[in-house]
Chains A and B, each alone.
Chain A
Amino acid sequence: MNAVALTTLGIEIGWGAALAIKTLVILLIIPAGALILGYVFLLKMMSHMQSRLGPMDPGGFHGWFQLIGDGLKFVQKEDLMPDGADRKVFAGAPAVVLISTFLVFLVIPMGPDLVVKDLDIGVFYALAVSSLSVIGILMAGWSSANKYALLGGLRAAGQLIAYELPLLLAVIGVVIQAGTMSLNGIVVAQQQQSIFGIDWIGNPYILTQFVGFLIFLIAAQAELTQTPFDMPVAESELVGGYHVEYTGFRFLFFFMGEYGTAFAFSAIAATLFLGGYALPWVEGDLANWIGPLVLFAKLMLVAFLMFWARFTFPRLREDQLQAFAWKFLIPLGLANLLVTALFKVAF
């Protein structure tokens, strides 16, 4: 937790201890977030949607043991490395993916004071480090010495580059409205602004930036390589794509990276468009205390949308995906940007 928040409890700590606490929190949030998303959406929601019996069985009530069992299974598995693999790169790839996820969380505010580092360019920073994961994916695809992995890695690279742009355009709309790039500043702006004079719920940007929100969700789906944009993984064609050669713990890293990034993107979307940790009429210390819960509730809502789409849609083809990004999303994003800018100037 943040030193300031602790100060409100009357505890004085030095910067070294604060840094240690922050690191610990971040290191815990990602696995916890990944586990929560994996449990709630992958195992429970999907099982309900797909009439699955297996994941609802272990442990009795709603198959609560399934995730633990899966984790144990991964840990037990043999750690394989292909003969032709570039060993160092192969071993490093999952770490790169995971680290990029960790870094995103540095700037996401969970309360007015609950943020590891409130960067002035928080939005840019979050988007920049989140796209570092493509390097890990390329590393994995290249070093596996497997043609499927290579195809998957290359697809991932092409896809992530194409969808960085709409992601950015969607965010710029919010930045224009808020007038700041600091994530905390954006939250505060949403709380304090009004929509044409109506200010009792502030101005969550999902209302004024709805197009931007949609673009962000779609592009985030592509960034996360989730269906309908999961060609880099594409179980039915590339049998797992870039992580086809990964087993056991290393695969678990990718898995955590995937769900951790989903968690992170949901948090960013909740922060940018749903008002983040803030609730109307809640301010001060109280916001610090319930902020994480509010943010969690909002990000689960966003994550639900993402996973709903994931379990419903078929997969696009690579060229269709590119066409969709360049011919539809980016022009739409630009138009949205233009309209936002005009309104900003006009009002």
Chain B
Amino acid sequence: MTEGDDAAEATEASPNPVHLDLLDRLERALPGAVVEHGTACGELVVRVTNASWGPLAEVARGDLECDYLSFVSAIDWAPTPRDGGEDAGGDTSAPVQPTDMTFGVAGSAGRFQVFARVQSTARGWGATFKVDVDEATPLVASWVGVYPGADWHERETWEMFGVRFDGHPNLRQLYLPAGFEGHPLRKDFPLLARVVKPWPGLVDVEAMPEEAAAVTAGGDGAGDGAGGGE
């Protein structure tokens, strides 16, 4: 949302004293790590440099007192492709997203961003950290050493987005069968169900029995609007 290079602007952007305190502690422990910060509906979002992601875990657990790891995941900022198969003429049921690449709170340098959320059970605060990863060789430090719970989250992120975690002891498939090709949550990975068949709720491809004969005789393919829609 806003540039947060110096403290003065940060004050303006996030008047929440807890956020200021957290940013202050972060700046003291890891000088120059914060690239940008903002708020997502009142929650602090901090974007850090790729190099400081590894040490950030220790700082978060120590200096920020965030003992609780909520999740680690990633975002692919690439625009949603209009898929749905060539024959279907584009899947019209899926929500129309902007076609240009825009970034969310605290910005991003490129397509892939890893984000994680840590919280403090004692103090009640929490923060979401984002880090840019390179599109060609997505790599970021692993948090497993500090937050052992990051193990599964990072495995999931790796298999879904292809982001590798440096120092993860055991980066293998979590959900998908071993040897699965592709990274399903990347935007360019098609939702195969939609490719095979357009959303049936919208494009009712099945004609009513009495009309089926007429459609076959007419040879007009699947009737659009034929049959009882909703």
A and B touch in the complex (CB under 8 A): no
